[in-house]
Structures are given as C-alpha cells and as structure tokens.
C-alpha cells in the first residue's frame, strides 16, 4: 500500500500559508560541518504552537527526536535561502494501526510560537466535508519519481461519500470510520505529501482542515481516490492533547511517542 499524492498546480506566495514541511536535520556535529535539512512529510499549522500531520510520518521512528525534527513554514519555494524553521518539542499520536491505517493522525507541539495568521481552522466534531477541496504538498510528481519539487504544489479534488469510496476500492481495502476520500481523477496524492492538508472552504470563506493525507494506491490512478484522515472525528482528542500540554502545565503521557 503506497502513500502518495500527485499535484498539478504550483501554489503561489500567500496561498496555503498553513502548509508546513516536516524535515530531518543531519550533520552539523562538528565546528566545520553544516546541517542538512531534508523534507519527508507535510503538515498543517493549526495555531501558534501546534501542527497536525499523519501518524505514519512519525510513528515508531526511533531516529526522529526533538533534536533533529524541524517544521519549515512559509516555504512556497524550498530553494529559498531564508525559509524559517522551528524545532518540535513533543510528538503525540492517536492509537494508530499500521495494518489498517486507522487513526493516522499526529500532533506536534512546536518549541516556539509562530504567526497565527498562517494557520487554518480546525473543524468541529459535527463538520462534514463536501464539494471540491484543495490538497497540497511537495510530493513526487509521479509514482516513485525519486525527487520532490522545489515549489509547493496544490490540486483540487472532489469529496466522495464513504459508500462510493468503498465501492471503488472493492473488498481488498476497507474504508474505516475516521477516513475521508477525495479525488479519483487526474489529480491525486504521491510520496512526500503524507501528513499534508486537505482544506475545504466554507460558505463564509473560512478555510477548514478537513483531512490529513494518509494513503492511496498509485498516483492519480483512474477512479481510485486518495484516502485522508477525517480531522473532525478527532476533535475531542486534539482538544484534550492541546489543553493538557499548555506551557503552564506538565505534559501528560496520553498517546504520545
């Protein structure tokens, strides 16, 4: 089962400002060594200290620590020399199931606060996505391409009902509660975009984080949609983690790694 996204539109400066790049830092241990940063997943800034991403990006990866995991933001072009980055203080995952891909969501608490004007709104528990929404990221432009684009890419995808989605996947794959399907045409998701945002705009113009890029089969496979974690279903978990881990409180060990 491949985790992928295929993008066709270049996001311009000022768009998708909530999109972040999760990057690992290597090197830099000695006086003459420079630190190298490498993108491996996407994520979404939801307030000044918290990022939502996919659990499979960080789950049971012992090489990821608070010393080498960084969030890069305001980076429409990765080649820009001054893209800002902030370290990650703590990682929290829901009860992620590697076999079924259920509960594929994680929260990252940042070491420093960032501008809240760049964030996107979290959905209430009652929210149901519909219509056309936007997925974005720096993932491969085709399956197993081996490289990611410098520019942030974005594509419009249509939300499907769970019943329609399940019928397209057949009996081999199960679309569980907490999963959301979108796409199934010429635009879809590829390696490197996991954890990134699926954002829907409300009738009042508010941008809502409806989904987190989770899994799919191939890149833009005809009739096969991408599968996302449905953020609204995790409203209680998200709020509990944030409330229990404010700076004035001691962190709680609930569902974290």
Catalytic residues: 56, 104, 194
DSSP 138: S
CA distance 70 to 38: 10
DSSP 18-47: TEEEEEEEEE--STTPPEEEEEEEEEEE-S
Region label for 156, one of left (φ > 0), alpha (ψ between -120 and 50) or beta (otherwise)? beta
CA distance 89 to 198: 25
Classified as helix, coil or strand, 122 is: coil
């Amino acid at each position: 089962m491949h985790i992928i996204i295929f993008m066709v539109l270049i996001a311009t400066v000022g768009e998708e400002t909530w999109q972040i790049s999760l990057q690992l830092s290597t090197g830099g241990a000695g006086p003459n060594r420079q630190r190298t940063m490498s993108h491996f997943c996407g994520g979404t800034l939801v307030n000044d200290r918290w990022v939502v991403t996919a659990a499979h990006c960080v789950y049971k990866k012992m090489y990821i620590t608070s010393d080498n995991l960084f969030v890069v933001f305001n980076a429409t072009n990765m080649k820009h020399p001054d893209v800002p980055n902030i370290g990650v203080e703590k990682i929290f995952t829901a009860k992620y199931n590697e076999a079924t891909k259920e509960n594929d969501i994680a929260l990252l608490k940042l070491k420093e606060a960032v501008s809240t004007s760049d964030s996107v709104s979290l959905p209430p528990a009652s929210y149901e996505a519909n219509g056309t929404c936007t997925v974005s990221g720096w993932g491969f432009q085709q399956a197993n391409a081996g490289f990611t684009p410098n520019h942030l890419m974005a594509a419009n995808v249509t939300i499907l009902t769970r019943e329609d989605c399940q019928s397209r996947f057949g009996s081999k794959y199960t679309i569980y509660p907490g999963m959301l399907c979108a796409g199934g045409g010429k635009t879809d998701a590829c390696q490197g975009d996991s954890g990134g945002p699926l954002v829907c705009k409300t009738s009042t113009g508010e941008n809502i984080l409806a989904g987190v890029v989770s899994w799919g089969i191939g890149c833009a496979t005809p009739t096969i949609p991408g599968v996302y974690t449905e953020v609204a279903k995790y409203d209680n978990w998200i709020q509990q983690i944030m409330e229990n881990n404010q700076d004035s409180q001691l962190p709680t060990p609930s569902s974290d790694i």
